Chains A and B, each alone.
Chain A
Amino acid sequence: DIVMTQTPLSSPVTLGQPASISCRSSESLVHSNGNTYLSWLQQRPGQPPRLLIYKISNRFSGVPDRFSGSGAGTDFTLHISRVEAEDVGVYYCMQATQFPRSFGQGTKLEIK
């Protein structure tokens, strides 16, 4: 089974400053079809998860361009260029390359 490990688990950030979250998978996430099914999700308090980034670096419809994703193979990063108050919540990486699907532990983003 693929284990997804996120760091840090908590990230206090000053408004307007950048933030980044790392995600490492225990195996390569490159699918046999050539795609890498690594997504980043945001979950605001009391809300369902929301897709931010799919296939490593593709921003989903309606997601602000301050969010971006990078990485390859087993190491991935979510970047937020300038944190805003509405970004508070928990961020998860997840893989859908293999079964069982798996999620990172979640990173709680909070404002200092």
Chain B
Amino acid sequence: EVQLLESGGGLVRPGGSLRLSCAASGFNFNTDAMSWVRQAPGKGLEWVSTISYNGDGTHYADSVKGRFTISRDNSMNTLYLQMNSLRAEDSAIYYCAREFDFDYWGQGTLVTVSS
């Protein structure tokens, strides 16, 4: 059974940092590109970032470029999102999902940026 389990969310002050993790199981993690998608309270889905199967290629939404870094550890079957210089508008549930069909999603982890 495919499982994606996000963790690392929480309450952080503006300007602070958080590192999200997504633990994958049930599929060959090291052969699949992965993405982060977020959803602000009451809003729609927003793509954040994608990383290639081996980590060599990364892409970011303009809204997070230069502040967020996506990475992965294929030996640990884990995807990461390092979030720096956080702003109130980054508050959202963050989901990891498998590319390209976005066939599997985690349950999400809530990030709240507030003073």
Closest to A94 in B: B102
Shortest CB distance B59–A (Å): 4
CB atoms of A106 and B105 under 8 A apart: no
Question: Assuming the A-B contacts A101-B47, A103-B46, are A96 and B95 also in contact, with contact meaning beta carbons closer than 8 angstroms in the complex?
Answer: no
A54–B104 alpha-carbon span in the complex (Å): 12
CB atoms of B50 and A99 under 8 A apart: yes
CB atoms of A102 and B47 under 8 A apart: yes
A26–B104 alpha-carbon span in the complex (Å): 26
What's the tally of chain B residues with a CB closer than 8 Å to chain A? 22
The dominant DSSP class at the B interface is loop
Stretch at the interface among A13-21, A45-53, A65-73: A45-53
What's the tally of chain A residues with a CB closer than 8 Å to chain B? 24
In-complex Cβ contact of A55 among B35, B99, B101, B106 (8 A) = B101
Question: Assuming the A-B contacts A94-B45, A99-B50, A103-B46, are A48 and B105 also in contact, with contact meaning beta carbons closer than 8 angstroms in the complex?
Answer: yes
Residues of B within 8 A of A54 (CB): 101-103
Question: A37-B101, A43-B45, A101-B50 provided; 10 other pairs, C-beta below 8 A?
Answer: A41-B45, A48-B105, A51-B102, A51-B103, A54-B103, A55-B101, A60-B103, A92-B45, A96-B99, A103-B46
